[in-house]
Amino acid sequence: MSRKEKKVKALSQGRIRWAKALRSPKTRIGLVISILFILIAVLAPLISPNDPLLVSVIDKLEAPGGQFPLGTDQLGRCILSRLIWGSRYSLSYSFIVLGITLLIGVPIGLVSGYVGGRADTILMRIIDIFMAMPSFVVALAIAGTLGASGRNLVLAMSLVYWAEYARLTRALTLQVKGQNYMMALKAGGCSHGRILLRHVLKNIAPSIIALATMEIGSIILAIAGFSFIGLGVQAPTPEWGIMLSDSREYFQTFPRLMIIPGIVIVIVVLAFNLVGEGLQDGLSTDR
């Protein structure tokens, strides 16, 4: 089989896998809900019925209905509007964390696995150091020294999570590197950069994308959790973790303040996990 034919076949197999992954009901349901939430986040200023930050003491702790479809919180702020704006913060911070970790982790893993030798040893040592730091401890250290804020939380989470992707990318790169066609590419005079980007990265991308999608859910949970204990986004920002944290003082008398944001978090995380699982089932090569 000539090289050209082989390449065509590999491409079509990749397409088949993507098609299979996107057709599964899991992926579809997950995608619909995820995209819905992304739209809500983007259109927040247009669709939220009230100002999420407007404090109005006379309207405080009102039951759902009328001007406030989901009622108001302890400061008279509209809960629905806060949830809608909250999706902005939760989703954008998660995507930023994911983007940064991929941008740092994947290139380092690629180089480490492809170059090998001493560079690999040194990079792996560095990766080990970062893997040894529990994310909570780093978030604590950064919040304690630089102050607690959404931006610093993103910094702390990125600092820890990239190592995982670097390790995965390196392992996948080593797998691809060991295959015969790599030698053929080199013998054929293909440059290293071209091999890395066009052949290695393209081959390992599906596995990385599947893992990354699976991770969005847990990043959303982590951001809400850190904000909940005060290490992340700060009040009065309408963030879901903050809303839950605010609800604690009223949870004996007004449990709805804590139930509603919780349900929203669960739905979003479930949706992203569904997409992740669907992609994983479809894209994972049955090696």
Partner 1 sequence: MAKYILKRLLAMIPVLLAVTFLMFFLSSMSAGDPARVMAEKIYGHPTPDEVELVRHREGLDKPFPIQYLNWLKNVVHGDFGESYSTGRPAAEELFRHFPETLKLALTSLVLLFLVAVPLGIWSAVKEGTAADKVIQFFCFLSVSMPGFWIGLMLLYLFGVKLRLISVLGGVSYSGIPLVAAFTFDIGYFGILIRLIRTNLGSVLKKDYIRALRAKGISPGRIIMKHGMKNSFMPVLTRSIGMIINMLCGSAVIESIFSINGIGKIALEAVVSKDTPVLQCFILVLSAVVVVVNLLVDILYSVVDRRIQL
Query: Exactly one of 16, 43, 103, 132 binds partner 1 (CB under 8 A); which one?
Result: 132
Window 97-126: contact mask with partner 1 (x via CB under 8 A): ----------------------------x-
Retrieve residue 31's tokens.
């995608």
Q: Exactly one of 51, 119, 259, 284 binds partner 1 (CB under 8 A); which one?
A: 259
Q: What distance in Å separates the CA atoms of residue 187 and residue 182, rounded to the nearest whole number?
A: 9
Question: Does the footprint of partner 1 cover residue 145 (CB under 8 A)?
Answer: yes
Work out how close the CB of 1 gets to partner 1 at its nearest, in angstroms, rounded to a whole number: 33
Residue 91: which residues within 8 A CB-CB, separation 6 or more?
37, 38, 41, 220, 268
Say if residues 248 and 242 touch (Cβ distance below 8 Å): no
Among 140, 182, 190, 209, binds partner 1 (CB under 8 A): 140
Look at residues 124, 74, 107, 130 and name the one whose alpha carbon lies nearest to residue 254. Answer: 74
278 to 221, 275, 282, 284: CA distances (angstroms): 20, 5, 6, 10
Q: Which stretch binds partner 1 (CB under 8 A): 60-68, 108-116, 190-198, 251-259?
A: 251-259
* Separation of CA 255 from chain center: 29
Build a one-symbol-per-residue string for 264-283: x at contacts with partner 1 by CB under 8 A, - elsewhere. Answer: -xx--xx--x---x------
* Number of residues forming the site for partner 1 (CB under 8 A): 43
For the bound state, the minimum distance from the C-beta of residue 50 to partner 1, rounded and expressed in Å, comes to: 24
Residue of the chain from 106, 108, 123, 148 that contacts partner 1 (CB under 8 A): 148
Q: Which is nearer to partner 1, 51 or 249 (CB)?
A: 249
CA distance 52 to 226: 21
One-letter identity of residue 165 = Y
**Contacting residue, 229, 234, 250, 281, with partner 1 by CB under 8 A:** 229
Per CB under 8 A, 128 contacts partner 1: yes
Shortest spacing between CB 180 and partner 1, in angstroms: 28
Query: Contact with partner 1 (CB under 8 A): which of 217, 232, 238, 282?
Result: 217
Q: Report whether 87 contacts 272 (CB < 8 A).
A: no
Tell me: does residue 284 bind partner 1 (CB under 8 A): no
Instruction: Kindly state the tokens that stand for 222.
Output: 């982590």
In angstroms, rounded to a whole number, what is the distance separating the alpha carbons of residues 134 and 76? 38
Using the rule CB under 8 A, is 61 a contact of partner 1? no
DSSP string, 122-143: HHHHHHHHHHTS-HHHHHHHHH
Query: In 3D, which of 217, 232, 128 has the Cα closest to residue 170?
Result: 128
Of the candidate spans 34-42, 77-85, 175-183, 220-228, the one that interacts with partner 1 by CB under 8 A turns out to be 220-228
Inter-residue contact 159 to 130 (CB < 8 Å): yes
- Two structure tokens written together for 96: 């930023």
The footprint of partner 1 (CB under 8 A) covers 125, 128-129, 132-137, 140-148, 217-218, 221, 224-225, 228-231, 244, 247-248, 251-252, 255, 258-259, 261-262, 265-266, 269-270, 273, 277
